[in-house]
Chains A and B, each alone.
Chain A
Amino acid sequence: MKYIDNNLVQKKMGSRLLRNKLAKLFFLLATLFGLFVLVILIYRVIRDGAAWIDFDFINNKLSTDPERAGIMGAILGTLWLMLVVAPVTMILGIGTAIYLEEYAKKGKLQALIQTNISNLAGVPSVVFGLLGLTVFVRGMDLGNIVLAGGLTMALLVLPVVVVAAQEAIRAVPGFLREASYGMGATKWQTIKNVVLPASLPGILTGTILALSRAIGETAPLVVIGIPALLIPLPDGVFDKFTILPVQIYYWTLDSALVAEYTNLAAATIVILLVVLFLMNSVAIFIRNKFQQRF
């Protein structure tokens, strides 16, 4: 006796094929929905803002007069902020990842640290803002300068960088480490010459994506009290500053007072999106260019 009844198979064939088609349709719609919303968003900011983008808009300082207002201050502020965030997160993040993956004994303590890091990655950014306010702005009495904001942002993206770097390091095959140890290399020589070169593309990609998250974050900096007032252009990490998303936030808030602020906000969003797009392209470029085969 046969287990598979051919007649039954034939009878069910139609509904199986139909469900197959429905599944495909559902996944397509899910994708299209996200895409559709994104297109509308981009269309609207470009419609409202594109006409306002010119050399003066980028080059001018902030002003209450929409015709003369520019975002040079926010651009410089963003750059200075990144100059603090990038090295701090890379050194601390990669260092932590190397420790956890290569040195830490797999045990209770390691598991505890690991869980904490994963949980930190999910803590809302406002909370990091409060942390920065308490520790850097008030505790260390730095005030709301670039350094304080940068350290706050660095803490915010640190868990993401640690996890990304850990994954990249874990993906380095064991046989490469064995080959290195087998020739009498020390642990540090193995990490430096084999593990890091092989995991660097992954680490860098993760870091850049984390930085582009930092560039788009508003809440923590609003919490530490980035001024909405007109301030001089920052030229160092000890100056007061503002950044692109905070600028967008305040212009949007005040658009009830001055209608053109809506357009200025939209124009700034376009600039921010371009910056993010460029950073993500660099991340993809690095991943493809330096990816090692093994």
Chain B
Amino acid sequence: MPALAENNKIQVFTSMEEAPKNVSTKKVVYDTKDLNLWYGDDHALKNINLSIYENEVTAIIGPSGCGKSTYIKTLNRMVELIPVVRISGEILYRERNILERTYKVEDLRTKVGMVFQKPNPFPKSIYENVAYGPKIHGIRDKKTLDEIVEKSLKGAAIWDEVKDRLNENAYGLSGGQQQRLCIARALAIEPDVILMDEPTSALDPISTLKVEELVQELKKDFSIIIVTHNMQQAARISDKTAFFLSGEVVEFAQTDKIFSNPSDKRTEDYITGRFG
């Protein structure tokens, strides 16, 4: 009885007095169970239990070095690029444990797109940047690629700015445009989830606003997990918020609740700027 099981989980993890009405209808995308991660001897993630829901924006906040990046890089197994990493526990993505040896990372990363802190387009044309993912996955037909590129650039709200210069090098774009190009590039693989690691920390306020609006738009089609240092940003754009501290999840709840009535003293101290 999966439906019932899901309901139970929600109760356990969010432990809210006033459960939101729509919760029971939303599906779980990612279910993290007792996740522990070490960099050598450094215990970076401790007993993480978190559920990420479909078509929601989940914000991850916490002071520098608390393990936010490590956590979202575990969700697409990018942490494995670092040789000293050891992991225990389970991460169920759509009910399959991605930490199993037999799970192909290439397959996982096709469904889970990532946008990094610093815009990192390839030193290729704007078109080639967006077409990169589809090409990797075997799409060769020019017309199909054209359509994907246009759709993705429109999806990332940058089409109008670049439609006349698709063949120019991506590094000719401004930082904010580059970041939206990277979002378009992630959209082009038609993912299910988008991971964003401080996507606006290198951007000016106007570009930041554009990316935030974009996130609101994108959550209709995708599930989004966003790491941010900006408390207002988390409050503005997310549905749920997880507060990390020294590798642990201190509190995970509806964003409204975290910011208006946190149950943990440490959460309150952090969001009111008393430490971190």
Q: Which residues of A contact B (CB under 8 A)?
A: 105-106, 175-186, 189, 193-194, 197-198, 292-294
B120 lies within 8 A of A184 (CB): no
If A178-B81, A293-B169 touch, does A183 touch B136 (CB 8 Å cutoff)? yes
A183 touching B113, Cβ below 8 Å: yes
Contact check, A183 vs B132: say whether CB atoms are below 8 A apart. Answer: yes
Q: Given A178-B78, A182-B76, A183-B133, A294–B171 Cβ distance below 8 Å?
A: yes
Residues of A within 8 A of B186 (CB): 182-183
Main secondary structure of the interface of A (DSSP, over half): helix
B2 to chain A, nearest CB (A): 28
B118 in contact with A181 (CB, 8 Å): no
B136 and A175 contacting across the interface, CB-CB below 8 Å = no
What are the residues of chain A within 8 A of B78 when measuring CB–CB? 178, 181-182
A181-B109 in contact (CB<8A): yes
Given contacts A183-B110, A293-B169, A294-B171, A178 and B120 within 8 Å (CB-CB) = yes
Contact between chains at B136 and A178 (CB < 8 Å): no
Contact: A178 with B169, CB < 8 Å?
Answer: no
The residue on A at minimum CB distance from B137 is: A184
Q: Counting CB contacts under 8 A, is B100 at the interface?
A: no
Q: Would B116 and A184 count as touching, CB distance under 8 A?
A: no
7 other contacts beyond A180-B132, A194-B122, A294-B123, with CB at 8 A cut-off? Answer: A181-B81, A181-B109, A182-B113, A183-B110, A184-B133, A184-B189, A197-B123
Contact of A176 among B105, B108, B120, B185 (CB under 8 A): B120
Contact A184 B106 (CB under 8 A): yes
CB distance from A186 to the nearest CB of B (A): 6
A189 touches B182 (CB 8 A): no
A110 → B minimal CB distance (Å) = 12
A-B contacts, 8 of them at CB < 8 A, read A105-B83, A179-B120, A182-B186, A183-B110, A183-B186, A186-B106, A293-B123, A294-B171
For A292, the chain B residues whose CB sits under 8 A away are: 123
B98-140: which residues lie under 8 A (CB-CB) from chain A? 105-110, 113-114, 116, 118, 120-124, 132-133, 136-137
Interchain CB contact under 8 A, A183 and B189: yes
What 0/1 readout, one digit per residue, does chain B (75-103) give for beta carbons within 8 Å of chain A? 01010010100000000000000000000
Q: How far is the CB of B41 from chain A (nearest CB, A)?
A: 18
Per the bound structure, the CA–CA distance linking A246 and B121 in Å amounts to 50
A197 to B118, CA, bound (A): 21
B228 to chain A: closest CB distance in Å?
A: 19
* Interface residues on chain B, size class: 20 to 34
- Are A178 and B137 within 8 A (Cβ)? no
Chain B residues closer than 8 Å to A175, beta-carbon distance: 116, 118, 120
Q: Is the CB of B114 within 8 A of A182?
A: yes
Contact between A198 and B120, CB atoms less than 8 A apart: no
Q: Which residue on B lies nearest to A183, using beta carbons?
A: B133
Does B122 contact A179, Cβ atoms closer than 8 Å? yes
Q: How far is the CA of A81 from the CA of B83 in the complex (A)?
A: 43
Evaluate contact between A183 and B169: CB separation under 8 angstroms.
no
Chain A residues contacting B113 (CB-CB under 8 Å) are 182-183
- Alpha-carbon separation in the docked complex, A182 to B185 (Å): 11
Q: B122–A184 contact, CB under 8 A?
A: no
Q: CA separation between A175 and B185, bound complex, in Å?
A: 14
Which residues of the partner chain B approach A181 to less than 8 Å between Cβ atoms? 78, 81, 109
CA–CA, A179 and B178, complex, Å? 13
- Chain B residues with CB under 8 Å of A177's CB are 81
- Does B110 lie within 8 Å of A184, measured CB to CB? yes
With known contacts A106-B83, A293-B171, A183–B120 Cβ distance under 8 A:
no
Given contacts A184-B136, A198-B123, A293-B171, contact A179 B83 (CB under 8 A): no
Residue in A179, A181, A193 with the greatest tally of chain B CB atoms within 10 Å: A179
Residues of A within 8 A of B107 (CB): 184
CA distance A194 to B124 in the complex (A): 9
Q: Which residues of B contact A193 (CB under 8 A)?
A: 132, 136
- Give, as a whole number of angstroms, the nearest-CB distance from B71 to chain A: 16
Within the assembled complex, what's the spacing in Å between the Cα atoms of A182 and B110? 8
Nearest-neighbour CB distance to chain A for B78, whole angstroms, equals 6
Question: Whose C-beta in chain A lies nearest to the C-beta of B118?
Answer: A175
Return chain A residues, CB-CB under 8 Å to B116.
175, 178-179, 182
Question: With A and B bound together, what is the CA distance between A178 and B81 in angstroms?
Answer: 9
A184 CA to B133 CA in the complex, in Å? Answer: 8
In the bound complex, do residue B123 and residue A183 qualify as a contact, i.e. CB atoms below 8 Å apart?
no
A183 and B185 within 8 A (CB): yes
A182 nearest in chain B by CB position = B114
List chain B residues, Cβ under 8 A from A180. Answer: 122, 132, 136
- In angstroms, Cα B122 to Cα A198, docked, is 9
For residue B136, which residues in chain A have a CB less than 8 angstroms away from its CB?
180, 183-185, 189, 193
Q: Which residues of A contact B185 (CB under 8 A)?
A: 179, 183
Q: Collect the chain B residues with CB atoms within 8 Å of residue A293's CB.
A: 123, 169, 171
Interface 0/1 of B181-219, CB less than 8 Å to A: 010011001000000000000000000000000000000
Chain A residues closer than 8 Å to B108, beta-carbon distance: 184
